[in-house]
Every structure is written in structure tokens, then in C-alpha cells.
Amino acid sequence: MVPVSPPGPQQGDDFGLPPGVRDEYLLGARDQLGAISELAERLIAAGTDTAAIEALRRDAHRLRGSAGSFGFFTAPSPPIAAPSPHSDEPSDVPEVIVVEDDPALAELLTFGLEARGYRFLHFRNGREALDLLKTMDTHSAAQAPLLLLDVDLPALDGYSIFEELQQECPGKFRVVFTTVHGSETEQLRGLEAGAMDYMVKPISLRVALEKIRRWVGR
């Protein structure tokens, strides 16, 4: 009888994520679920203390965005070959700029962008992002770069970044806000200020990449 080799690992067991990202997400989920449980206990203890409850609400928003944004357990689409750049679009101008302070979410999203062959940049700090965005030369680009701008950022929030860009270099970037704050009021705030769209977290990576494909045009 011919010996049968044991089956190898199933394709996609790691959800197509880069090495270490899946484990990082799983560990992060455990920590965040524990933190959410602690928040629930603190909420009960807070009783009718309005200030304490508001502080807990902000913490819960932060945890929810960190745990679920861009599809926590959603596998990205398989990598595809990068298309040839257009002759009138220089390769040094980014098509997509991501401003996101959560390391795990940023790594997942930029992994998807790289797999799809986009030219992109990533910033984690709001102030650093604004300083570089204002000095970035985008005049030779075929269209204004897409700026995925998180609302809740360290040093400087997304709305403040957008307002300053609108004042100093209007139309330089096409802005889409990303945030866990999905209320009608919050979305209208960004849209009425001039943003192109608003992505409410959590959102699957596949959905995010499909939206980006439509916005970028390829």
C-alpha cells in the first residue's frame, strides 16, 4: 500500500494576512474584549454620574474602532498583479493616503492597498500628516490623491486637518473620513464641510477596497 501523506495546511488558514498580523489581531481582540468587560463594570458602578458615563462612552468608541475596523476577521481579496501605471501619471505621486493611528488596522489596510498595486502613503500622527500633506507636490498627478482620514487621531483630529487643508490648499486631496462615530449628525458634519464620503467602522477590507477602486478609478 502506498503511504498517504497527511494533508498540508489549508489555503487561507491565515486569512491571507501578512505574517504575524492575524496573531496580533487575535491577541488584540482578547485584550480589547477584556477591556470592554471592565468598561461594563465601571459603567454599572458609575450609576448616574454623567461625566463618568461620557468618559466610558469615549473609551468604548475607541475600543470598538480598534477591534472592528476594516473587517476584523474578514479575509482580504487575493493579491492581484499591479496594473501598468498610466503614462501621464508619475509613479511618485500617491494615489491613496491613509491617516490612521491604530497599527493593526493600518497594517491590514495598507496590506490590501499594496496587494492591489496602489501607490500609497501612511501616517499615524495627525500633526505630522498635516505638515507633510501641505508641502506635498501633487500637481503632476492625473487626479487629486484620495485621503482616507481618521477622525480620532493623536496630536490633531481629522476634522481640524481637513479644515486647515481646505483653507490653505482647497481641492488638493479628495477626502473620505473614517471613524467609529456613525451618527447622522457626525456624517453630515464631514459631508457638509466638503468631504467626498464617509466610511463608518467597522467595515470589511473587501468593501473598503471596492470603495477605493471606485474612487480612484482602477
Q: Which residues pair with 111 in a beta bridge?
A: none
Q: What is the DSSP string of 68-106?
A: HTTTTTPPPPPP-PPPPPPTTS-TTS-SEEEE---HHHH
pLDDT at 195: 93
pLDDT at 201: 83
CA dist 129 → 65, 69, 136, 157, 190 (Å): 20, 20, 10, 11, 18
What are the grid coordinates assigned to 43, written together?
459603567
One digit per residue, the tens of pLDDT, for the chain of length 218 reads 444 444 444 444 455 556 666 666 666 666 666 666 666 666 666 666 666 666 666 666 555 554 444 443 333 443 444 444 444 544 588 999 999 988 877 888 899 999 999 999 999 999 999 999 999 999 888 899 999 999 999 889 999 999 999 999 999 999 999 988 888 898 898 899 899 999 888 778 889 999 999 999 88
pLDDT at 137: 92
| CA pair distance 145, 215, nearest whole angstrom | 10
pLDDT at 54: 62
pLDDT at 96: 96
Specify whether the CB–CB gap between 175 and 199 falls below 8 A: no
Q: Which residues pair with 146 in a beta bridge?
A: 96, 174
Whether the model pTM is above 0.85: no
Helix (H) or strand (E) holding 60: helix 50-68
CA dist 202 → 39, 46, 71, 178 (Å): 20, 28, 6, 9
Q: Which of 200, 129, 135 is nearest to 158 (CA)?
A: 129
pLDDT at 57: 60
CA dist 190 → 1, 67, 141, 172, 182 (Å): 69, 23, 25, 17, 11
pLDDT at 79: 43
What are the grid coordinates assigned to 5, written together?
501523506
Span 63-72, pLDDT tens digits: 555 444 444 3
